[in-house]
Structure 1
């Protein structure tokens, strides 16, 4: 089985967007698109599913709120209750209004830090990872669309040249 892909290189983001739409309409599978900057609407044009990071952020915030509640209850009520400003230390509920800033801060802390860790793990961005960019021009001013070759290779090359690509290459991937 062949692992060939086509690298269609574009020099304009509007031309790239039109090419992505034409490629999807022609039922070719787009493996990846490399761009030097974020292109608005590219994810929808490629047909990518919406991200679920907001759900993770909410769950991580709940973890932070739970840790804050458990920590304050243990430290300020159970372990070493103190009379600070005449406030009763008999129950957590009586002191909860004083604990709201700490609950907020730990909610934000856990959500932010765990979201960053989740993002790096999900996108497989490890420390000291080598770049997977197939063409160095995509970090400057060009856009590259990687499409799997299924069927007639010459016909696909002609198709991508007609979409406005400035360069079309067929590459054997390992």
Structure 2
């Protein structure tokens, strides 16, 4: 059974170098916990690019479509009104007045659906128990969780000690989260 090793660092530059070294040795990094965003860490870890921008664009198009459909139905088909002498015969004639509504609905749908998508993708549900393995990572320490896989635990811990880790803890795979 593989073990998870928690290597704790006290500097983000040391952490970045350690991640590079661990990846060179082909050990599997389960997760890295940091008290603040570390620029470039995702690239060093080899994480794939996010597709959330594509989702945002699609959600914006959905919001724009809802806005156009809503305004056409409400202001042209269902209850046409003469507001300030403006004609209400077609959507195109009134479109300049509808631009703010189209913009706001596009932003509204993109923003709200992006938040929902982020929470679903990150598995952050209401009342979910925190998965932070060490509370010091919310203050001033950095933790890299490395799966030993088929490697010997001693070999991995000895290697992590050379990367500048100030503390190394060995956890069972089910206890690590």
Question: Smaller-chain TM-score range?
Answer: over 0.9
Quote how far apart the aligned CAs of 1:86 are: 1.3
SS at 2:31's partner residue? strand
Matched with 1:159 is 159
- 1 CA distance for matches of 2:138 and 2:64? 40
Q: How many pairs does the alignment contain?
A: 173
Q: Deviations over 1:46-87 (max 9, x none)?
A: 000111111111100000000000000000000010111111
Q: Return 5+ residue gaps in structure 2 as ranges.
A: none
CA distance in 2, matches of 1:32, 1:117: 23
Q: How does 1:13-52 map to 2 (within 5 A)?
A: 13-52=12-51
> Where do residues 80-159 of structure 1 align in structure 2 (5 Å cutoff)?
80-150=79-149, 151-159=151-159
Distance 2:111 2:136 in 1: 33
1:64 aligns with 2:63: yes
SS in 2 for 1:160: helix
- TM-score w.r.t. the length of structure 1 is 0.97
Q: Which TM-score applies when normalising by structure 2?
A: 0.96
Runs of 4+ with deviation above 3 angstroms: none
**What stretches of structure 1 of length at least 5 have no aligned partner?**
none
**What SS is found at the alignment partner of 2:129?**
coil
